[in-house]
Amino acid sequence: MSRIVVITSGKGGVGKTTTSAAIATGLAQEGHKTAVVDFDVGLRNLDLIMGCERRVVYDFVNVINGDANLRQALIKDKRTENLYILPASQTRDKDALTQEGVQAVLDELSKEFDYIICDSPAGIERGALMAAYFADEAIVVTNPEVSSVRDSDRMLGILSSKTRRAEQGEDPLPAHLLITRYSADRVEKGEMLSVEDVQEILSIGMLGVIPESQAVLNASNAGMPVVLDKESDAGQAYRDAVARFLGEERPHRFITTQKKGIFGRLFRG
């Protein structure tokens, strides 16, 4: 059975697109046929992070408008088996995503894919609601700071009231928390909220903690999902998150400061 998963946050720039690319790639690597859909009409970032921007012919809006069929618009990932990208349009306006249109595309994707990952735009307006409306499951991306957590809380409220499942009176969709850009050092200095603080406020299950990492920037410059960088901390943290998403239990890593060795302690004086 196909699952529609929305990657959402409320606040902008917290790492939704990075996460969409990583989770979709991770799921595909595990053998699940996965499509990742860019709902950020007008901005179109996902294709850059996936490194397929030069192969975009048709986009999501083209499919909705009937200018192209889904098969023509889906881009097959070059590095990862089982992975397809449906890019957003850079030129159209946001109203191009109609509810009926989105539903038709998701229905068609559902016939073929195990997972459909929806990369939501920022905010709590129409675009974000559209990305979340048909979801079976949500990953809420939060940075460890007060305004981001507040927005995520708001988004969780919306997920529990404004999605198709909520409107049809079904159980609220399961929502998982993913904390990104986490810096244990800054938490220790009191400059950021801790994992416990964030979890206490949002009180939903924790999918993972992704550290603040240069590897993310390097990967996005290279047009490669960071999860493919197996040596990197962020890449490993995303792999763990994918494993947990698929039901495996794994301990959380990267949430405490690096233990200083004896030399570190000595030289700090």
Return the residues of window 102-121 that contact other proteins according to CB under 8 A.
Answer: none
Minimal distance in Å, beta carbon 241 to ligand ATP?
12
Q: Does 164 bind other proteins (CB under 8 A)?
A: no
Check the annotation: does 259 bind a ligand. no
Q: Which residue from 131, 210, 241, 242 is in contact with ligand ATP, where contact means CB under 6 A?
A: 210
From residue 110 to residue 149, what is the string marking binding to ligand ATP with x (rule CB under 6 A)?
A: -----------xx---------------------------
Please, which residue, 167 or 191, has the CB nearer to other proteins? 167
Three-state SS letters, the chain:
CCEEEEEECCCCCCCHHHHHHHHHHHHHHCCCCEEEEECCCCCCCHHHHCCCHHHCCCCHHHHHHCCCCHHHHCEECCCCCCEEEECCCCCCCHHHCCHHHHHHHHHHHHHHCCEEEEECCCCCCHHHHHHHHCCCEEEEEECCCHHHHHHHHHHHHHHCCCCHHHHCCCCCCCEEEEEEEECHHHHHCCCCCCHHHHHHHHCCEEEEEEECCHHHHHHHHHCCCHHHCCCCHHHHHHHHHHHHHCCCCCCCCCCCCCCCCHHHHHHHC
From residue 29 to residue 68, what is the string marking binding to Mg ion with x (rule CB under 5 A)?
A: ----------------x-----------------------
Check the annotation: does 13 bind a ligand. yes
Q: Which residue from 16, 165, 239, 244 is in contact with ligand ATP, where contact means CB under 6 A?
A: 16
Minimal distance in Å, beta carbon 260 to Mg ion?
36
Q: Which residue from 130, 216, 227, 228 is in contact with ligand ATP, where contact means CB under 6 A?
A: 216
Please, which residue, 58 or 238, has the CB nearer to ligand ATP? 238
Check the annotation: does 18 bind a ligand. yes
Q: Does 53 bind other proteins (CB under 8 A)?
A: no
